[in-house]
Amino acid sequence: MPIPPITLTPPFNVVRCAYIDLGVTDLDAAQDFYDSTLGLVTTTRDPDAIYLRALEERNHHSFALRKADVATCNALGFRVATPGDLEVAYDWFNNGGLDADFVERPYQGRTLRAQDPNGSVLEFFCKMDQADRLLQKYGTYRGVHPQRIDHFNCFSPNVQTSVDFYADLGFRTTEYTDTDDGTELWAAWMHRKGTVHDIAFTNGVGPRLHHVALWVPTALNVIHLCDVMATTGYLAHMERGPGRHGISNAFFLYVRDPDGHRIELYASDYLTVDPDLEPIRWSLTDTQRQTLWGTPAPRSWFEEGSVFPGVAVRDPDLKAEPVIAH
Q: Name the residues that contact Fe ion, by CB under 5 A.
A: 153, 213, 264
CA angle 14, 87, 15 (to 5 degrees): 10
Query: Least Å distance between CB 266 and Fe ion?
Result: 6
Distances (CA, A) of 243 to 200, 233, 296: 19, 22, 11
Can you count the helices (H) and strands (E) in the chain? 6, 18
Task: CB nearer to Fe ion: give 63 or 90.
Answer: 63
Burial class (CB in 10 A: 0-12, 13-18, 19+), 232: exposed
Determine the 3-state secondary structure of 124 from DSSP: strand
| Pairwise CA distance, residues 286 & 53, whole Å | 36
Task: CB nearer to Fe ion: give 90 or 252.
Answer: 252
Query: Least Å distance between CB 28 and Fe ion?
Result: 27
Task: CB nearer to Fe ion: give 226 or 263.
Answer: 263
Query: Least Å distance between CB 291 and Fe ion?
Result: 13
Note the helical H segments in 159-270.
Answer: 159-168, 219-230
Query: Least Å distance between CB 273 and Fe ion?
Result: 20
Query: Least Å distance between CB 12 and Fe ion?
Result: 25
Task: CB nearer to Fe ion: give 178 or 269.
Answer: 269
Burial class (CB in 10 A: 0-12, 13-18, 19+), 289: buried
Cα dihedral: 120, 215, 106, 207 (round 10) = 10
Query: Least Å distance between CB 197 and Fe ion?
Result: 7
| Pairwise CA distance, residues 98 & 34, whole Å | 34
User: Among candidates 153, 149, 119, 123, which has minimal Cα distance to 262?
Assistant: 153
Task: CB nearer to Fe ion: give 215 or 234.
Answer: 215
Task: CB nearer to Fe ion: give 175 or 264.
Answer: 264
| Pairwise CA distance, residues 70 & 145, whole Å | 29
Query: Least Å distance between CB 250 and Fe ion?
Result: 7
- Tell whether omega for the bond before 106 is within 30 degrees of 0, i.e. cis: no
Task: CB nearer to Fe ion: give 65 or 213.
Answer: 213
